């Protein structure tokens, strides 16, 4: 096996499957993640893309259309069954988005503490070329009756609540019962916006019904909110251990190899005190005697141990999906990255892929990569997952110059590629279609859906399909159903 001169080899990962209830946790190691830097050109002019083109989302034009004048839109998901098929309902496609009121006097960067889950719908079965440029989505309003999500925090002290990401399960494909899994957030903050006590993140279920007639789509229910999981501090880090802990973004699914059992992946962090260096040689992942290997002491001295992401797994212990038990993390990124967000299980052709989104600014000291999608492949839901593409993990990044500082989406570095924050919160849909939202393009803020792109996924390698859409960019917010709900018959 030949590596890149000057860089260590990636870790060995067998893709072997382990029992879902077991304790094997795969590692996205430093040796793996450093392959991103290894495959980044050091000679591009500043502000260009330094990364391999087949792993990079094409440039989104700066004159992008907006989905809606009244609400900011970011993380978006679809109406799915236990196998992540996307259903239309009664002839309508439906999406669920984090939204924030544009008219309430706060900007896009203040959205997180005002986030509410809203929905949009549009007629199913119309090709993107015959839709309006913005995708033609009709805003339907909010899903949860105002304040209902606060019941989860009864008896606790908080100043503001928010609804963060999750997923929507169609419980029966011949009925209209749906289950929302989302992250119920409560913040206890002073007037300056600082935490008085750590935020509370609770993975929560709420049941409702979808309805549609010839003119519109609407929802009822979502009045009862059941707390499913709070981080235990044993497998998953909690607020007492780290006020900046991440715990959110539930995605449920069934494994065809274990029919009848429901699983959930979610974003978490490795348990333990934030200040305690907890990485090991295994997290570094260097092969024996690799001349390019870092020492554990070097890594710990760099402060990389503040970045301790984990992709969590839980199993439902009742058929109504209202009781869950934690299992060991599927993948950790200790001393590699602090956030592996919106993880999803994507099963295709006998292979199990975990896709997750992450940021350049949450990588640990010494490792680097763009904002975008990272992917891992194995032979079962718990595997010795192999990071895709050169063993790096990178699947779909924003055009980024890794030789130039990251900047931020709200304060871009003028030397950086003006599209380094063009999109985020990607979700991989059936057939490798990927939807996301626009964050910042040439200093213009988005808060709207990005063009859909297509990734060809084949085992440990993937590539952006440049024949899809216009040079690789499909329609804005083109989020098609791949299944028709049986209710179409009643239409």
Task: List all residues 6 or more positions away from 390 whose beta carbon is below 8 Å from its beta carbon.
Answer: 10, 35, 38, 39
To the nearest whole angstrom, how small is the minimum distance from the Cβ of residue 201 to ligand FRU? 9
What is the closest distance, in whole angstroms, from the C-beta atom of residue 188 to ligand FRU in the complex? 17
Tokens for 179?
A: 């289950």
Q: How far is the CB of 161 from ligand FRU (least distance, A)?
A: 13
Closer CB to ligand FRU, residue 184 or residue 384?
184
Q: Using CB under 6 A, which of 164, 222, 352, 427 touches ligand FRU?
A: 164
Q: How far is the CB of 90 from ligand FRU (least distance, A)?
A: 29
CB of 143 to ligand FRU, least distance (A): 15
- Does the footprint of ligand FRU cover residue 163 (CB under 6 A)? no
Q: Are strands 26-27 and 324-334 parallel, antiparallel or unpaired?
A: parallel
Q: Is 294 a catalytic residue?
A: no
- Judged by CB under 6 A, the residue of 30, 39, 248, 419 near ligand FRU is 248
Q: Is the dihedral of CA 224, 142, 64, 108 positive or negative?
A: negative
- Closer to ligand FRU by CB, 185 or 304: give it: 185
Binding characters for ligand FRU, 338-357, by CB under 6 A (x = yes): ---xx---------------
d(CA 140, CA 442): 30
Query: How far is residue 207's CA from residue 120's CA, in Å, rounded to a whole number?
Result: 18
State the binding string over 395-424 for ligand FRU (x if CB under 6 A, else -): -----------------------------x
Identity of the residue, 112 or 216, whose beta carbon is nearer to ligand FRU in the bound complex: 112
Contact pick of 56, 57, 115, 144 for ligand FRU (by CB under 6 A): 115
Residue 75 a catalytic site member:
yes
Rounded Cα gap, residues 116 and 101, in angstroms: 9
| 249: Cα separation from own chain's centroid | 7
Of the residues 341, 384, 401, 409, only one is catalytic, namely: 341
CB of 437 to ligand FRU, least distance (A): 8
User: Among residues 249 and 478, whose Cβ is nearest to ligand FRU?
Assistant: 249
Minimum CB distance to ligand FRU, residue 100 (Å): 9
CA 393, CA 356: separation in Å to the nearest integer? 10
Q: With CA atoms as reference, report the closest residue to 433 among 36, 51, 57, 53.
A: 57
Binding mask 34-73 for ligand FRU (x = CB under 6 A): ----------------------------------------
Assign residue 472 a region: left if phi > 0, alpha if psi is -120 to 50, beta otherwise?
Answer: left
The least CB distance from residue 75 to ligand FRU, in Å, is 5
Q: How far apart are CA 47 and CA 149, in angstroms?
A: 43
Is 359 one of the binding residues for ligand FRU (CB under 6 A)?
A: no
Candidate list 76, 90, 165, 307; residue touching ligand FRU; CB under 6 A: 165
Q: Does 200 bind ligand FRU (CB under 6 A)?
A: no
Site string for ligand FRU, 254-273 (x = CB under 6 A): -------------x------
The binder of ligand FRU chosen from 98, 228, 331, 455 (CB under 6 A)? 98
Quick check: 383 binds ligand FRU (CB under 6 A)? no
Size of the site for ligand FRU (CB under 6 A): 15
| Interface with ligand FRU, residue 249, by CB under 6 A | yes
236 binds ligand FRU (CB under 6 A): no
Positions marked active-site: 75, 341
Which residues in this chain contact ligand FRU in the complex, by CB under 6 A?
74-75, 98, 112, 115, 164-165, 183, 248-249, 267, 341-342, 424-425
């Amino acid at each position: 096996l030949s590596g890149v001169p000057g860089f260590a080899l990636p870790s060995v990962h067998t893709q072997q499957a382990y029992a879902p209830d077991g304790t094997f946790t795969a590692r996205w190691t430093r040796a793996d993640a450093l392959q991103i830097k290894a495959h980044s050109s050091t000679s591009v002019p500043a502000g260009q893309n330094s990364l391999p083109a087949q792993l990079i989302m094409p440039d989104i034009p700066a004159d992008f259309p907006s989905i809606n004048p009244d609400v900011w839109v970011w993380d978006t998901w679809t109406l799915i069954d236990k196998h992540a098929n996307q259903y239309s309902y009664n002839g309508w496609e439906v999406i669920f988005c984090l939204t924030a009121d544009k008219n309430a006097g706060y900007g896009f960067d203040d959205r997180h503490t005002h986030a509410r889950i809203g929905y949009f719908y549009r007629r199913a079965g119309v090709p993107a070329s015959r839709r309006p440029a913005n995708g033609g989505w009709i805003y339907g309003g909010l899903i949860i009756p105002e304040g209902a999500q606060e019941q989860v925090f009864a008896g606790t002290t908080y100043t503001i609540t928010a609804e963060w990401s999750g997923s929507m399960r169609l419980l029966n494909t011949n009925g209209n019962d749906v289950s929302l899994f989302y992250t119920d957030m409560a913040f206890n903050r002073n007037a300056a916006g600082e935490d008085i006590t750590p935020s509370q993140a609770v993975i929560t279920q709420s049941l409702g019904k979808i309805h549609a007639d010839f003119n519109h789509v609407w929802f009822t229910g979502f009045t009862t909110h059941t707390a499913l999981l709070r981080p235990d501090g044993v497998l998953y880090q909690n607020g007492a251990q780290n006020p900046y802990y991440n715990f959110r973004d539930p995605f449920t699914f069934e494994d065809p190899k274990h029919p009848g059992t429901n699983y959930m992946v979610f974003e978490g962090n490795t348990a333990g005190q934030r200040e305690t260096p907890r990485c090991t040689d295994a997290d570094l992942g260097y092969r024996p005697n690799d001349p390019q290997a870092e020492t554990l002491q070097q890594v710990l001295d760099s402060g990389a141990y503040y970045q301790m992401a984990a992709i969590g797994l839980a199993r439902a212990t009742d058929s109504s999906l209202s009781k869950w038990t934690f299992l060991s993390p599927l993948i950790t990124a200790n001393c590699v990255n602090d956030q592996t967000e919106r993880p999803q299980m994507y099963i295709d052709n006998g292979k199990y892929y975990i896709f997750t989104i992450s940021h350049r600014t949450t990588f640990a000291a010494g490792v680097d990569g763009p904002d975008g999608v990272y992917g891992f492949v194995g032979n079962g839901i718990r595997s010795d997952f192999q990071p895709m593409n050169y063993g790096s993990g990178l699947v779909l990044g924003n055009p980024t110059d890794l030789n130039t500082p990251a900047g931020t989406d709200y304060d871009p570095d003028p030397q950086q590629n003006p599209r380094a924050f063009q999109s985020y919160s990607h979700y991989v849909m059936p057939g490798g279609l990927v939807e996301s939202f626009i964050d910042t393009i040439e200093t213009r803020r988005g808060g709207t859906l990005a063009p859909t792109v297509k990734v060809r996924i084949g085992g440990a390698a993937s590539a952006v399909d440049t024949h899809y859409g216009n040079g690789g960019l499909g329609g804005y917010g083109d989020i098609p159903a791949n299944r028709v709900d049986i209710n179409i018959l009643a239409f």
